[in-house]
Structure 1
Amino acid sequence: MSQPSPRHEIAHLGHVELLTPEPEKSLDFFVRVLGLTENGTDGDSVYLRTWDDYEHHSLKLTAAKTSGVGRTAVRASSEEALKRRVVALEERGLGVGWVDGDTGIGPTYLFRDPDGHELEVYWETERYRPPEHLRPALKNQAQAYPGRGVGVRRLDHVNYLAREAEVNGRFICDALGGRVTEQIRLDSGVISGQWTHFAQKSYDIVYTNDWTKSNGRLHHIAFATDTREDILRAADIALDNDVHIETGPHKHAIQQTFFLYLYEPGGNRIELCNPTGRLIFAPDWEPVTWTEAERAKGQAWGLKTIESFHTHGTPPVE
């Protein structure tokens, strides 16, 4: 009897833990500037949520000696799918074991990708129940729109830096049932970046090659806005709040995402993106491959990629 396909056994990206050496300033950035809502604490960590993610939290902000990414959580599509993914992870020697889940999350299995990033997979989850002052008029919305700062709608994706993007992208596909939607192939044949997804959204977890040859670093995490105009407004909000704008607003050629890149006070890169118009429905999708020459043309409308986009990652390395 053949094993069931791992496709769709991971439902979606759940939440990301971000490490910051400036916890108070980072918290102010995410709450006041981006518009997230606090939803509890746990030791040195604060749980934050966007207004339309349905779970307890979208971001776990943890005070640390340096910047970077902690654990990234993905939700399985069923209890049975969770068990099968745990077997697949253990077969690859990358499982760590069962751990107590964060607040709002049930039994959680901790594992690492080939590059050493920590991830966890779970099934049981607590749906957010807003207090009265955050109760939305529309019952199919998780929380009332905060009307504060940028007002990001949901956690969208995480982009890791890795020693070898292709090895890690293959792991996401083979062990978790993801699929490569787009990638970059250099003239040398090296795959320098891969965008993978689990459902119709065109990407959830991205790997790009780390020029420092380090392991386990972060390029950025991204939050989706409701509209493209929200990103244009976000640029003005960043100016008013002395937030460093790295690049944008502009449009990526890869995935056609409208973007703005900021640095939060802890040094981590944050993307605000509006990719909602592009979904992938084809069950036999073939990866779109971009060449080195095509990437040299810059972004969709000709903006050249800023140098720091290739060199800045967290935690910083010499």
Structure 2
Amino acid sequence: MAEPCSDIAHLAHVEVLTDKFEESLDFFTRVYGLTLSGLDENSAYLRAWDDYEFHSLKLTRSDRTGVGHVSYRVSSTEALQRRIEAIETSKYKIIGWVEGDMGHGRAFRFEDPFGHVFEIYWDTVKYRPGETDVPALKNNASRFHANGACPRRLDHLNLLSDDVTEFRDFMITCLGARVTEYIQLDNGRLGGCWFTVNNKTYDLACTEEHGGGNGRLHHVTYATDQREDILRAADIFLENGVFIETGPHKHAVQGTFFLYVWEPAGNRVELANSGARLILAPDWEPICWTETDRKKGQAWGLKTIESFHTHGTPPTGDR
């Protein structure tokens, strides 16, 4: 196998588009429990209480929903140059340099074959807590505020594509990512791939598009410390009239305890707890899940409802 690449440090932030900006912002702050770090004319910059950067979610006012861009931070300025060289010599579409925003400096953008925009950068703005959110422990990024569901950090996102194999090649080529688990369908296609750029089990997943769209978002996920946080969040969502799509259950793939909801604009958002699973083996062999395996359903819990396989944003029909 190829030697693991450490040029990319971690998933930094995701830009989510909303056509119901005020309602979405209320959900993410008051109900979901992210903190507003900054606000400009078109976007709100949000973070979980232990995200070290200025923001991990950029919520942008738009006439549609879905993902605006996916952002990774590199491990050094030298790593940034190496990745840019790899991208520039690849077959993938290059957008080029863009100016940073409130949360980071200049970033280099490129695009996967399905219309998802990615960026990589080094210069960042680290969050500095103010008087009201100084943590009791110096090794926390900010105070545990216990507002709403109050997740700890950004964990991962799931994108949709018509050809998971092609997306896999994109992630390996452009980001030096490793596949940790995948779904092999009986017809020979890949049904899904889970990728990591560090020793997390995954920070991005790509699953097969069944809704007829292009460049769509399946979901964005924040991590909690324990399962009980997700059970508490279910009650918070219930009390606030948030649509709970499925869960709490446990995934077979990656073993994640999960809860999926739709924020007011229809973007799917997850809370997850993956326990202490890490990929420490440098020669990790990706786990293959067959179609027969997947037809058994989740590890436990109710059968996944049909919308989980067809709903993405922007929608392609009635949702």
Output the TM-score relative to the length of structure 2.
0.96
Q: Is the 8 A contact 2:156 2:222 kept in 1?
A: yes
1:5 to partner: Cα distance: 5.7
1:147 counterpart letter in structure 2: A
For 2:248, the equivalent position in structure 1 comes to 249
Contact 1:107/1:122 (<8 A) preserved:
yes
- Which residue number in structure 2 is paired with residue 65 of structure 1? 63
- Distance in 2 between the 1:178 and 1:98 partners? 22
1:126-275 counterparts in 2 under 5 A? 126-275=125-274
Q: CA–CA distance in 2 between the matches of 1:237 and 1:201?
A: 28
1:34 partnered with 2:32 = yes
The unaligned stretches of length 5 or more in structure 1 are none
2:89 aligned residue (81, 88, 91): 91
Structure 1 residue 162 displacement after superposition: 0.7
Count of aligned pairs: 315
Q: Say if 2:237 and 2:243, in contact at 8 Å, map to a contact too.
A: yes
* Deviant stretches of 4+, over 4 Å: none
Query: CA 1:56–1:48 in structure 2 vs 1: closer, same or farther (change >3 Å)?
Result: same
User: Which letter maps to 2:23?
Assistant: K
Q: Give the whole-Å Cα distance in 2 for the aligned partners of 1:90 and 1:102.
A: 24
Q: Which runs of 5+ in 2 are unaligned?
A: none
Post-superposition Cα deviations, 1:174-206, rounded to whole Å, max 9, x if no partner, equal 221110000111110110100000111100111
Give the secondary-structure state (helix, strand or coil) at the position aligned to 2:81: helix
- The answer to whether the aligner puts 1:78 opposite 2:76 as a matched pair is yes
CA distance in structure 2 between the aligned counterparts of 1:119 and 1:41, rounded to whole angstroms: 22
Q: Could you say what the CA RMSD is over the residues aligned between the two structures, in angstroms?
A: 1.3
Distance of 1:102 and 1:84 partners within structure 2? 23
CA deviation after TM superposition for structure 1 residue 166, in Å: 1.7
In the alignment, is the contact (CA less than 8 A) between 2:200 and 2:278 conserved in 1?
Answer: yes
Post-superposition shift, 1:235?
0.7
**1:15–1:178 distance in 2 versus 1, CA, 3 Å:** same
Q: CA deviation digits over 1:41-96, x for unaligned, max 9?
A: 12210101100010010100011111101011100011000011011111114221
Contact 1:109 1:122 in 2 (8 A): yes
User: Aligned-pair distance for 1:146?
Assistant: 1.2
Q: Which range is displaced more, 100-109 or 195-204?
A: 100-109
Identify the range of structure 1 (284-293 vs 211-220) with the bigger mean alpha-carbon deviation: 211-220
**C-alpha distance in 1, partners of 2:102/2:18?**
20
State the distance in 1 between where 2:109 and 2:127 align: 23
Instruction: In structure 2, give the amino acid aligned to 1:88.
Output: A
Preserved CA contact (<8 Å) 1:183 1:288: yes
Please give the secondary structure, in 1, of the residue aligned with 2:166: helix
